[in-house]
Each structure stands twice: as C-alpha cells, then as structure tokens.
Amino acid sequence: MRAMVLRRAGSRVLELTERAVPDVSRGEVRIGVSACGVCRTDLHVVDGELPDPKIPIVPGHEVIGRVEETVEGSAFHVGDRVGVPWLGSSCGQCRFCVSGRENLCEQARFTGYQIDGGYAESVIADERFVFRIPERYGDVEAAPLMCAGLIGYRSYRCAGDAARLGLYGFGAAAHIIAQVAVADGREVYAFTSPGDVKAQAFARSLGAVWAGASNEAPPAVLDAAIIFAPVGALVPEALARVDRGGMVVCAGIHMSDIPSFPYRLLWGERTVRSVANLTRRDGHEFLELAGRIPLHTHTRPYALEGANDALADLREGRIEGAAVLVP
C-alpha cells in the first residue's frame, strides 16, 4: 500500500512510501482509507512542535473509510463505513478512564502521532475508538468531522450555554462549530487574522452576526470565547472581550506561550481552560448531532501524494475550511 511517511521529526517533509498491508490483531480492524483530513495538529507533528512522535510515523487522524478486515467477535463487519479520530486508545483502568475522562489517560496513544494514521491507503485501528459515520455525509465532507468537528464540539460544550460566542481563528473547526452554535440559536462572533476579509466573509456566510480582526472589539460583550488559533497572545485578547463570569476555552493541542496580562482581565470570575483531545462520549454525541443537523463542511481535496502541498497550504493560511487527502 502507499503511505506518506514522516521519517525525521521536524523535517516538515513526508515521503511517499510503499508499505506492506498491516496485519489485524484481536480488538482491531483494518480500514481502507477513502479520505483523511489534514489537521493543524498534523502540522505540529510534522513541524516538530509536538515532542517524541513515533518515527517513522504516518500522520493523519481524520480518517474515513470502510472496514476491510476484522477478527472474530468484532462489533464491525467488512464494508462498514467508519471514522478514526485523534484518540486511538487508552488504558481503560486509570482514575481518568474510569471517571469518563479517558482523554487525560497517561497511557493514551494518538492516531498519526504514536499510531500510524490515515495518510495511507489502509490503517489499523483499535475498534473501541472507531465511530460509525452518518450516511448523509460523503467521505470527503465527513473527514473534518473526525477532529475539527469533535474537538470543536468538546470545546463548545466546555464553553457552556453562552448566548454570545466568540470564535478566534476561523478555520476547519470554527466553520463547523459556528453552524452548530447558529442551529442552537446562539450569536456567533468570528475573529480572524487582521486583514483576512475572505475568512470574515466566509464566517458571515455561515451565520456569524459579526466578523472582524482578532484585535478588534466586537459590537457586543461575549459570554464565552473559543480560541482555535494556536496563538497564546489571543488569551488576554479574548479575556478582554468576555463578560464577568465568562469562559475562554483554548482548543488547540499546541499553543505559543501566553503573555503576561493584568489581573483585571481575569477578575470578575472569568475562567480560562484548555481542552485536551476528546472522549468517545464526545464522538458519539457529536456524530448523533451531525446526523440530525446538516453541517456543511467546506473542503479542498488533494491526492495522497499531494500531502506536502496540503500541509504547506494549511501552514500558510491558504485553505478556506479543511484540506482532505484522497488516496
């Protein structure tokens, strides 16, 4: 099978490689990849911003495909259409796992980071962490749901019942969660890089009541904000825009350092929190919701061998919505 492989951490370059089709062990399924989204976390792996990836590693954790092989007793059948997310496994026994917080498990392993992922024609996955995909979505449009959608949904839940919600960084995750928030009757305020009028128009087209630069004041005080951009300087910026009792959620797995800021920005029972990965509960809840609400994912397809081009376009901010590899 063909796969795009990272052979040196931080090299920023993937190599097209021929590999043997992987074998299936008990508790696993082999999935023929139909589409795999290109996520900013993949950039953090490829660019060396996340420590100690498995090397060599096949990136990719927004996998959509069909089951090709199972073992006896599997909950899946050959031909089932499924998705594979970032969280690839957890121990199931630690205090975090038994309390429903498996995303914090110290023995957790992650797809495309410690487990070979979906930048390939075939992938092996722990079937406990595999999801069935709503039929209303095609393979390419479903791919961003597996991380941009799932992490966005967990961040959205953490933001509480905010009537006025700010989204900082209007990319793959924000463009999905904006639609969920609008469907829930909330007001969405979109913040982009200064001068990115295209992204601002995109946000308004999805129902945002206002869109502007990340250093601008919105026309109304916010109840909560989610920061999808990996920019630590946005934390005090967002704190300055949320009301007393408001929440600022940092949604990324990697973020540049947060600068010091005056205590008055935090005072008034404002809260800053991070979101770590996802749980299977998040996955089941979000995909059930996605089966009811027609979410429109905006995608740009690339051939598998164009993975380096897709990563470069994402790195330089040239993608509206989400890039998706199609083997």
Q: Is 215 exposed, middle or buried (0-12, 13-18, 19+ CB in 10 A)?
A: exposed
- CB within 8 Å of 205: residues ≥ 6 apart: none
How large is the angle between the packed helices 148-158 and 172-183, nearest 10 degrees? 50
Nearest to 169 by CA among 183, 154, 189: 189
> Which residue's structure tokens are 């492989």?
5
* Mean pLDDT value of segment 120-139: 97
How many whole angstroms separate alpha carbon 235 and alpha carbon 249?
Answer: 9
* pLDDT range class, residue 317, cuts 50, 70, 90: confident
- Eight-class DSSP state of 57: B
Asked if the model's pLDDT at residue 320 lies above 90, the reply is no
Amino acid at 160: G
Helix (H) or strand (E) holding 310: helix 307-315
Domains and CATH numbers, the chain: 2-146+277-326 (3.90.180.10), 150-274 (3.40.50.720)
Q: What is the pLDDT of residue 268?
A: 97
Q: What does the block give as tokens for 115?
A: 């487990």
Q: What is the pLDDT of residue 115?
A: 97
How many whole angstroms separate alpha carbon 43 and alpha carbon 137?
Answer: 26
Asked if the model's pLDDT at residue 303 lies above 90, the reply is yes
Nearest to 165 by CA among 173, 177, 154: 177
* pLDDT range class, residue 265, cuts 50, 70, 90: very high
- CB within 8 Å of 192: residues ≥ 6 apart: 169, 170, 199, 200, 203, 211, 212, 213, 214
Asked if the model's pLDDT at residue 89 lies above 90, the reply is yes
Q: What is the pLDDT of residues 20-60, one digit of tens each?
A: 998 999 999 999 999 999 999 999 999 999 999 999 999 99
Q: What is the pLDDT of residue 277?
A: 84
Q: Is the dihedral of CA 91, 95, 100, 103 positive or negative?
A: negative
Q: What is the pLDDT of residue 103?
A: 94
Q: What is the pLDDT of residue 321?
A: 83
- CB within 8 Å of 85: residues ≥ 6 apart: 61, 62, 63, 111, 129, 131, 146, 147, 150, 278, 283
Asked if the model's pLDDT at residue 110 lies above 90, the reply is yes
How many whole angstroms separate alpha carbon 16 and alpha carbon 129?
Answer: 27
